[in-house]
Structure 1
Amino acid sequence: MATIGERVVNLRKRAGMSQAELASISGVSASLIRKLEQGSRSDVRLETARKIAAALRVPTTAIITDHVGDQADAETVDHWGAVRRALHGLGDQSGEPPTVDGIRRALDASMPLWRGDKYAELATTLPKLLADTDTLVGTDRSQRFVRSRLLHLTGWLLTQTRQFEAAELALLRGLDDADDLLEAAAIVSTRCWLLLRRGRLEQARQLAIKWADDVEPRISRATPRDLSAWGWLLLRSSAAAVRDNRPGEAEDAIRLARTAAVAMSRDISPGDDFLRTFGPITVAMKRAENAMVEDRPDLVLRMSQAIPTNDLAPTSNNRNRHLLDVADAHRRSRQYGEAFDVLRRIRQDSPEWIVNQGYAKDILKGIFAGRRTLTSDMRDLADFVRLDY
């Protein structure tokens, strides 16, 4: 398989461009393009790959390889080792056999940890919960629901913390136990997000499109569960398309998602499941995310003025991801103080979440590059997120 650098040089030559011309059109430094083509750099961020692809007028998937973003930080891997072992059936199953009702109560009691991004506490409690759930060998509906629900949450959490192989295992196991089509669709949506984070744009796009077609409801009769399942798959399809330099397709998908959101009237969590929270605010945040991918910081800042990011926002994860786009828009507009203030707010609200965000570190590096001096608060945040600079 050709390397990223080999693909870039072949596509560049086919387009009749020099390295300098490609750098000028894409906005990517000539130094980085040269390093990629010479093989001294073997990886690239998805955002950078999209810029190069747009300049060459090819899909992003013509450049990136499947392993983009696969590697997790060693510190994170160690932190989640017990969870991964439990997923493989190697957890501690000693003690009195659990019951379905007992596991359900334990899962319900743990929900504030999931919603509040309490990763350290989840890393401690989740292995035992997974091990207990593995003892449910029956196939009745209540057991399947509990297993599927926990495995979906686990896959979402491991995707968030860059444990991609383990996340794939959890989501596929959860899909096997899914009780109905809409429950399965919610898991598939999370899997599409996992594929996006791994740089597997075409696979994510095709999977989201197929399932969106399968669950498309009649709007006049649709329930919140119907609208959430369909809407989220459309959002995943749009996210994959915009990253793969397919702006028209991305806009079509997000326009349909907005139709579902309008029918929902407000952001709702069907079945009190925060992973399925969907509505107009969620779609607005994802539309702003697309604008950031397309390198339109001015549009992101305008859109953000109409998007609430207080306690009324749908979920902490989607709110924080949107705020990172806002911070990056400020940074690209050379509003470094405003950008840093947004990062500081995210740290205050979700300290364990921001530590796991490579995007946040990149924004902070950009702020530092644009300033002559750093404040003590800036140095403190850099130390907190373990920034290597």
Structure 2
Amino acid sequence: MCLPNATPAAYAYLMVTSIGEQLANIRRRRGLSQRELATLSEVSLSLVQKLEQGVVSDTSLETAHKLARALRVPTSKLVLTHDEDDADETTVADWEEVRRALRTPTPYDGDGEPEGGAVMGLLGEAVGLQGRDQYSRLRPLLPKLLRGADALAEHASEGRALRFQALHITAWLLIQTRQFAEAELALDRAEDDATERLQLAALANSRCWLLLRRGRLPETRELAAQWVDELAPVLGKASPDELATWGSFQLRTAAACVRDNRPGEADDAMRLAQSAAVALGRETSVKADSVRTFGPVTVELKRAEMRAVQHRPDDVLDIASRITLTPAVTSSNKNRHMLDVASAFAAKKEDTAAVDVLRNVRSSSPEWLPNQRYARDIMGGIVRRRRTLTPEMREMADLVGVPM
């Protein structure tokens, strides 16, 4: 069984294209001066000039989106790709044993068959730690889990299913910690063990997230659309797992479209996601996908995320005020939503409130926050704008890696 159009070329990354020449061409076609574009986009005139002159060859996806909105073109018209920063040297070193176990499966050399119960126990522990963002405890556990799953897959019928789950959760964690090439390898390996359509869908959903984090907006949209068509549930007849999976791909579609300055398509996808959430009536975990849930609350969190991307901070805070974060919602979705709230406060120049939100995220998920480029961008904006920083602001800027 294969993913729709799952050829290596389907996931090949386009070469990074400089934004400057395209930006200048489209700006002139729109009859705008550099100063007028800077005003419309709320991007500094200095940066617009440096981009067009080639002094700066790349910029953040958020800045590209602002420029694209002002020019009324898709973001991908300005930049074909934009990679989020890869993991830093410390993260790479910390995760080396996991990477080695992923790259070089170890043949089983024990007597008799490996213990399936032991591997299942490791997997259950890993799922629990992942749900609580406890990366330091996951790192020494994952190599044991991956090697045990490899051994079991050679000797027991249930081994491939366990290895699928082990590889998928590993891929998810590698994406979360910005180890993108290794995450792709884990997804590729997991695909070999997938025997059911919803397992393949779970991998495609994670691959959409990987593409999205790397700024591959057209590719994300295309892959999500393939799976929306592949699953195509009949409301009233589809199983909860099918509805939740289909709804999750609608959210991926919306996320890619709103970042690519396609608001109408994004709203259409959100309406369809909402219909699936209403049909489910609650947050739902999919058996084949241990790393995410889908339901009414998740849809509202993603709606707030869309408004954050569209630079509508009042809408973000209004949606946030009406959301009840139930225990069924994944920690990563809750945390990501709180970054949207912090970003909204920062956009309104309520910097103390923004930092307080970030401090709350640090308190609940101290190992998750430093891996978020979004948090660094929020604090970077605060640092650049203010003449003086409070001790809490300085501490947070250091934690998320704002350059000195």
Paired residues for 1:160-199 under 5 Å: 160-199=176-215
Paired residues for 1:119-138 under 5 Å: 119-138=135-154
Q: Residue 69 and residue 91 in structure 1: after superposition, are their counterparts in 2 closer, same or farther (change >3 A)? A: farther
Q: Residue 140 and residue 304 in structure 1: after superposition, are their counterparts in 2 closer, same or farther (change >3 A)? A: same
CA distance in 1, matches of 2:89, 2:110: 32
- Backbone CA RMSD of aligned residues: 2.1
CA distance in 2, matches of 1:247, 1:210: 20
CA distance in 2, matches of 1:19, 1:251: 31
CA distance in 2, matches of 1:14, 1:99: 67
Corresponding letter in the other structure for 1:204: T
Paired residues for 1:213-252 under 5 Å: 213-252=229-268
Residue 388 (structure 1) aligned with residue 403 (structure 2): yes
| Residue 81 (structure 1) aligns with | 96
Paired residues for 1:48-67 under 5 Å: 48-67=63-82
Paired residues for 1:1-389 under 5 Å: 2-69=17-84, 71-89=86-104, 98-138=114-154, 142-271=158-287, 274-309=290-325, 312=327, 314-389=329-404
| Residue 10 (structure 2) aligns with | none
Instruction: Report the CA distance between 1:5 and its aligned residue.
Output: 1.8
Instruction: Report the CA distance between 1:67 and its aligned residue.
Output: 4.7
CA distance in 2, matches of 1:91, 1:47: 42
Equivalent position SS for 1:250 = helix
Q: Residue 35 and residue 76 in structure 1: after superposition, are their counterparts in 2 closer, same or farther (change >3 A)? A: farther
Contact 1:237–1:253 (Cα < 8 Å) also in 2: yes
Unaligned stretches of 5+ residues in structure 1: none
TM value normalised by structure 1:
0.94
Corresponding letter in the other structure for 1:49: A
Contact 1:229–1:276 (Cα < 8 Å) also in 2: no
Equivalent position SS for 2:245 = helix
Equivalent position SS for 2:294 = coil
CA distance in 2, matches of 1:175, 1:301: 39
Q: Residue 341 and residue 274 in structure 1: after superposition, are their counterparts in 2 closer, same or farther (change >3 A)? A: farther
* CA deviation string 1:48-83 (max 9, x = no partner): 111111122211111123352253322222222222
CA distance in 2, matches of 1:341, 1:67: 30
Instruction: Report the CA distance between 1:193 and its aligned residue.
Output: 0.7
Aligned length: 388
Unaligned stretches of 5+ residues in structure 2: 1-14
With 76-85 and 224-233 compared, the bigger mean Cα shift is at 76-85
| Residue 6 (structure 2) aligns with | none
Equivalent position SS for 1:275 = strand
Contact 1:288–1:300 (Cα < 8 Å) also in 2: yes
Corresponding letter in the other structure for 1:109: E
CA distance in 2, matches of 1:187, 1:227: 16
* CA deviation string 1:18-55 (max 9, x = no partner): 22121111111111122222222222111111111112
With 298-307 and 360-369 compared, the bigger mean Cα shift is at 360-369
CA distance in 1, matches of 2:387, 2:116: 59
With 177-186 and 343-352 compared, the bigger mean Cα shift is at 177-186
Contact 1:340–1:367 (Cα < 8 Å) also in 2: no
Instruction: Report the CA distance between 1:142 and its aligned residue.
Output: 1.8
Instruction: Report the CA distance between 1:130 and its aligned residue.
Output: 1.4
Corresponding letter in the other structure for 1:301: L
Equivalent position SS for 1:31 = helix
Contact 1:89–1:131 (Cα < 8 Å) also in 2: no
Contact 1:186–1:276 (Cα < 8 Å) also in 2: no
Q: Residue 70 and residue 363 in structure 1: after superposition, are their counterparts in 2 closer, same or farther (change >3 A)? A: closer
* CA deviation string 1:213-249 (max 9, x = no partner): 1112112122221111101011001100111111000
Equivalent position SS for 1:277 = strand
* CA deviation string 1:82-120 (max 9, x = no partner): 222221116696766733332122111222211111111
CA distance in 1, matches of 2:349, 2:291: 34
CA distance in 2, matches of 1:237, 1:196: 10
Q: Residue 205 and residue 74 in structure 1: after superposition, are their counterparts in 2 closer, same or farther (change >3 A)? A: same
Equivalent position SS for 1:308 = coil
Contact 1:22–1:55 (Cα < 8 Å) also in 2: yes
CA distance in 2, matches of 1:140, 1:6: 57
Equivalent position SS for 1:276 = strand
CA distance in 2, matches of 1:186, 1:88: 21
Q: Residue 92 and residue 113 in structure 1: after superposition, are their counterparts in 2 closer, same or farther (change >3 A)? A: farther
CA distance in 2, matches of 1:335, 1:382: 16
Contact 2:153–2:160 (Cα < 8 Å) also in 1: no
With 33-42 and 147-156 compared, the bigger mean Cα shift is at 33-42
CA distance in 2, matches of 1:373, 1:136: 58
Q: Residue 140 and residue 260 in structure 1: after superposition, are their counterparts in 2 closer, same or farther (change >3 A)? A: farther
CA distance in 1, matches of 2:297, 2:81: 32
* CA deviation string 1:186-219 (max 9, x = no partner): 1111110110000100000010011011112112
Contact 2:245–2:286 (Cα < 8 Å) also in 1: no
Q: Residue 127 and residue 41 in structure 1: after superposition, are their counterparts in 2 closer, same or farther (change >3 A)? A: farther
CA distance in 2, matches of 1:246, 1:298: 21
